[in-house]
Amino acid sequence: MVSSSSIRAFGAFLHRFSYGVSLQRPKSFALQSTALINRNLSSSSSAKWVSSFELQSVNPVRKIWTFSPLCMGRRSCKIAGRKEAQNAKKAKLYCKIGKEVVSAVKKGGPNPVSNTALAALLDKAKELDVPKEILERNIKKASEKGQEAYIEKLYEVYGFGGVGIIVEVLTDKINRSVAAVREVVKDCGGKMADPGSIMFKFRRARVVNIKVTDADKDQLLAVALDAGADDVIEPLMDEDDTEDDLLERYYKIVSSAENYTSILSKLREERLAFEPDNGSELLPITPIEVDDEAKDLNKELMSQLLELDDVDAVYTDQK
């Protein structure tokens, strides 16, 4: 009769050994183990049947464990969010340039030699690094039957906390675009404003955007002013800003249309990374500070407006 201590010793050995056994041969392993135990229960020597079991064991192999994908936490979510926002911004830029190309071709034809408006637009697209295939596709689209020219419209909206919002639209169907904008504004709790009610709070200018993490403030001021910039707007900074927050803060170099190209050239010479505008931007003359609740509500309203296909840009005088 095998003692209880011998059985426990064998169980411990079996447990340790099982970590090295291939999972692809569970049936043979079980049969060998059962036969071995039955055969040795009548033996009085535990050492004998343990040694016998070792001789009959299968070849050990490395066990491979698999796990479900890991969540990388808040930092990865922020990075993904920023990347998604950058891609959306780039898509809006390409869409707007494409619409402008269609309108230019409809008015003056597809030849940039005779169509000066198209030639100027192609130069701007090159400056903004718009892919050539997008330009070619929209030149071809302009000749399609039923394709109308795009018309620029500005819709003015009252946001929350006294904030004004300008919605820039380039559309071939005005009734469709205004209906879509009205619906979003109503659903988000905003209010449509009469033309001119908010526009006087903004000024239009050419703008170069530069991340605060990509440039030294003093160097940037020197380069911008030397190149003929009208102003350099510093972002609002908070002492609690993290490194991730700084990635979303931008300096804005404000310029006239005449000096814009020379400013871009100067920034390239200084090897300063930048993001050009999409032709121009509306800048608030006197930004308004609001509470956190109003900020969140305005952010949601502007986000939903930007999701509309006809909307190319949304501007606000909120700080």
pLDDT in tens, 157-193: 999 999 999 999 999 899 999 999 999 999 999 999 9
Q: In angstroms, how far apart are the furthest CA atoms of the chain? A: 107
| Residue 28 predicted with pLDDT over 60 | no
Residue 153 CB-density burial (10 A; 0-12 exposed, 13-18 middle, 19+ buried): middle
Give per-residue pLDDT as tens, 54-88: 444 444 554 444 444 444 455 555 555 556 667 77
**What share of the chain in percent tops pLDDT 90?**
31
Are 278 and 93 spatial neighbours (Cβ–Cβ below 8 Å)? yes
- What does the pLDDT read at residue 20? 47
| Residue 138 predicted with pLDDT over 80 | yes
Are 166 and 314 spatial neighbours (Cβ–Cβ below 8 Å)? yes
- What does the pLDDT read at residue 8? 58
Q: Is 28 helix (H, G, I), strand (E, B) or coil?
A: helix
- What does the pLDDT read at residue 3? 55
CATH homologous superfamily of domain 151-316?
YebC, transcriptional regulation domain (3.30.70.980)
- Work out the average pLDDT over 43-54: 44
- What does the pLDDT read at residue 107? 86
- The domain 74-142 is placed in CATH, from the list 3.40.50.720, 1.10.10.10, 1.10.10.200, 3.30.110.40, at 1.10.10.200
Give per-residue pLDDT as tens, 95-108: 888 888 998 898 88
Give per-residue pLDDT as tens, 194-225: 999 999 999 999 999 998 888 888 888 889 98
- What does the pLDDT read at residue 22? 42
The runs of H, that is alpha helices, within the chain are 4-18, 26-40, 46-56, 74-108, 116-127, 132-142, 174-188, 217-226, 243-246, 257-269, 292-306
Residues 6+ apart with CB under 8 A from 77: none
Query: Average pLDDT, whole number, for the chain?
Result: 78
How far is residue 100's CA from residue 175's CA, in Å, rounded to a whole number?
19
DSSP-derived secondary structure letter, 171? E
- What does the pLDDT read at residue 76? 52
- What does the pLDDT read at residue 128? 77
Residues 6+ apart with CB under 8 A from 297: 159, 160, 188, 189
- Work out the average pLDDT over 105-127: 87
Give per-residue pLDDT as tens, 272-297: 888 888 778 999 999 999 999 999 99
Q: Which of 278, 291, 294 is nearest to 124 (CA)?
A: 278
